[in-house]
Amino acid sequence: MLNAADGMKLPMRILAITLLCTAGLALTGCKTTKKVEITEPIATKEYTRPLPPGVNPLRKVENPAVYRRLLEQTYSPNDPLLVEAAKRAAEWFRKPSAKGFFPVAGVSFDRAQASVDALVEILKGNPSQSQYIAGVMDRFDLYESVGWDGSGEVLFTGYCAMDFDASRTRSSEFNFPLYTRPADLVVDEKTGKVIGQRVGKTTRPYPTRREIEESGMLAGTELVWVRSPLDAYFIQVNGSAKLWLEDGSIMYLGYSGTNGRPYTGLGATMIKRGIVDPSRVGLPFIKDYYRAHPQEVLDMIRENDRYVFFTAYESSKWPAGSLGYRVTEKRTIATDKDVFPRGGAVIVDTRIPTFGRTFQPFTQLMFDQDTGGAIKAPGRGDLYMGEGAAAGLIAGRQYQEGRLYYLFLKESPLQADASGSEAPMNLNR
């Protein structure tokens, strides 16, 4: 049971960002949470609306003026972060397991890999702006996400890496565990999707968060201990954390799988129960409410059936995205990998917050290197904003509509026929 004293034990180094989940905000399985100011038109849109059967999430952009404008705005000479993200994408395509994730959206593995390799070569050549535009337009086709309703509209949120205090051993101060991946968790070797829990020679759905926590079934597999169930929950929602351990060392915690259950945000539950207005939900409110009502908050946390397991990462590989490679500040995007081809080059055209109360245009060449349990359908994307408090301030306010584009090498008519891709449909019908 929790008591008032437990409620006061919140982390010293938690980022001062407005975290966590409105009903419309998607918290990824490996993402920082966030609170945003929501206008009514945005709040009522179904950004996570699934695609109808047979609909391709991508459609070719035929307007060369749009294509040229995007390339003009994404030209970024000598940007080491861009080259770094591109090289990591290319490395992932060389893994034997990568081929098993294709085709997706009518894009074959060979075309996706060749597209990234070709773009890496263009970037390595340190082209002038005119060379960059000509080289990309000559060799690549541009495809746009159909968005949440067929209009091309995509909601972009943001995430970042967080810090917490923790201990390798249980104590009265650090009394809430984060677990390693359990041995009885069965996943599809090709896709990584959770199949369930192994029971003898059969499998069944893996237990929910509430069942895991109330039964103590994972005792003995604790990786690390944190101060409160709220800390543990924030880390699970984020999927990674930098842990300042009691012995003076640092642990870089990373995502190692989930129980495969559906995700429900804590903020969404609070809103549903009438505890808080969507415009007020965020870390300050949740901390205050937890101090006053720790058992009630724990009960609401357990309404989220999704449970995340962890492993320790080397600092050079942290924070890692769903491809198993380190994500890159403002060059990595998370999307739904059941919808979009992973690893590819994308152009994001939206706005991001400044350190004031304004927003600035953000048209950026990025790579699709991450995913999350709540980043669903072609109408959602999550932008990695980096590490630390400054990144947290930006990620916490990121909630803007925009457009999402993919770059793939041009195909011959014969190749296009052989791909078997479905034509995009009008989702407004």
* String of DSSP letters for 180-214: BPPTTEEE-TTT--EEEEEETTEEEPPPPHHHHHH
Decide which of 317, 346, 371 is a domain's last residue: 317
Q: What percent of the chain has pLDDT over 70?
A: 84
| CATH number of residue 81's parent domain | 2.40.40.10
Query: Are 348 and 361 found together in one domain?
Result: yes
Query: Are 136 and 167 found together in one domain?
Result: no
Query: Are 299 and 397 found together in one domain?
Result: no
Q: Judge whether 222 lies within some domain.
A: yes
Q: How far apart (Å, rounded) are the C-alpha atoms in residues 257 and 188?
A: 12
How much is the pLDDT for 324? Answer: 85
Q: How far apart (Å, rounded) are the C-alpha atoms in residues 369 and 308?
A: 19
Domain span at 248: 4-45+162-317
Q: How many independent structural domains does the chain possess?
A: 2
Residue 281 confidence class, pLDDT cut points 50, 70, 90: low
Q: Judge whether 50 lies within some domain.
A: no
Please, what is the average pLDDT of the chain? Answer: 84
Are the C-beta atoms of 369 and 88 separated by less than 8 Å?
yes
With 90 as the cut, is the pLDDT of residue 90 above it? yes
Q: Is 374 left (phi over 0), alpha (psi -120 to 50) or beta?
A: alpha
Higher pLDDT, 255 or 347: 347
Q: What pLDDT digit, counting tens, does each position of 124-148 carry?
A: 888 999 999 999 999 999 999 999 9
Q: What pLDDT digit, counting tens, does each position of 359-402 carry?
A: 999 999 999 999 876 688 999 999 999 887 788 778 877 889 99
Query: Are 123 and 249 found together in one domain?
Result: no
Decide which of 254, 284, 317 is a domain's last residue: 317
Query: Are 260 and 134 found together in one domain?
Result: no
Q: Judge whether 52 lies within some domain.
A: no
How much is the pLDDT for 263? Answer: 85
With 50 as the cut, is the pLDDT of residue 15 above it? no
User: Token match 């390595």: residue?
Assistant: 124
